[in-house]
Homo-oligomer: A and B are copies of this chain.
Amino acid sequence: VGADVVIASELTSVRSVRVQAVRRLTKRAFRARERRFLAEGPQAVREALASPGGVGELFATRDAVDRHRDLVAAAASAGVEVQLVSGDVMAAMCQTVTPQGVVAVCGFVDVDLAAVLAARPRLVAVLADARDPGNAGTVVRTADAAGADAVVLAGASVDPYNGKCVRASAGSIFHLPLAVHGDVAETLHALRAAGLRVLAADGDGDDDLDRASDDGRLDGPTAWVFGNEAWGLPDATRSLADDILRVPIHGRAESLNLATAAAVCLYASARAHRKA
């Protein structure tokens, strides 16, 4: 253990001011006020450290320091100290039932919608009022994998810095630009004004993904809009889309899970962009 990076005096008091300051970041109001959030587990921390200036503080159990030498090295490269903590302190800081022994306090990564658009994106995923953090995180991960240029959490969507969302993103929250915009209509208008075709994914759409793909409607710059898990997309949002497309249901399922439908749509776009 390099003495230059790892602070050997272990934090053991769950009630210490420093531990409480980390712990309160499990609550949205505190995250929003401080614009800081928690990345738990070696994978998320690794990606946070690779993101310039991404990590403010880093905490690890002795066991985790021994197991994840690469993280200690990455912390050293990033100029971040590793503060040793007891198992109890780690448990107090984390939201997972079985903490993985390492947690980073990170600065918010979201950018303005204007910055997303200035980069002339070709593929954007928009979540409109998506409420489930696991779904949202999985969509961020899938958008990253499909080569999307950005994800926009629009309307009353879940906080992307929610612990479950960060975990489900599997590090991808640090990989591609993420914007948070309170107004769905404004978001879609801005995307269209920037030259993207707005495609609403909706199980009730009368037009289907395969047909849109066959007739070239996925070939240009595209923004996919995915709605709420329970009620989908309201009419007001659907009316702002260029097309309302459903993923075809060939069997007897009523619908697809949000993250699953998003995967099929985003990968259809990825394929169209690489063929065209």
Contacts and interface: CB of A to CB of B under 8 A. Distances in A.
Interface of A: 43, 138, 141-148, 168, 170-172, 175-176, 210, 247-257, 259-260, 263-264, 267, 270-271, 274
Contacts of A264: 263-264, 267
Contact of A251 (B144, B170, B248, B259): B144
Nearest to A256: B145
Nearest to A270: B250
A60 B146 CA distance: 44
B175 A253 contact: yes
A253 B210 contact: no
Contacts of A170: 253-255, 257
Contacts of A141: 253, 256-257, 260
Given A210-B271, A210-B274, A256 B250 contact: no
Copies held by the complex: 2
Given A145-B256, A263-B264, A251 B210 contact: no
A83 B144 CA distance: 49
Contacts of A168: 257
28 contacts: A43-B254, A138-B260, A141-B253, A141-B256, A141-B260, A142-B253, A143-B251, A144-B253, A145-B249, A145-B251, A145-B255, A145-B256, A146-B250, A146-B251, A148-B251, A170-B253, A170-B255, A170-B257, A171-B253, A171-B254, A172-B251, A175-B252, A210-B271, A210-B274, A247-B267, A250-B274, A259-B259, A264-B264
A107 to B, nearest CB: 19
A270 B267 CA distance: 14
A103 to B, nearest CB: 20
A253 B138 CA distance: 11
A172 B143 CA distance: 26
Contacts of A274: 210, 250
Given A259-B260, A260-B260, A263-B264, A251 B176 contact: yes
Which of A144, A257, A274 gathers the greatest number of chain B CB atoms within 10 Å? Answer: A257
Contacts of A270: 248, 250
Given A141-B253, A146-B250, 10 more contacts: A142-B257, A147-B250, A172-B251, A175-B252, A210-B271, A210-B274, A250-B270, A256-B263, A259-B259, A263-B264
Contacts of A43: 254
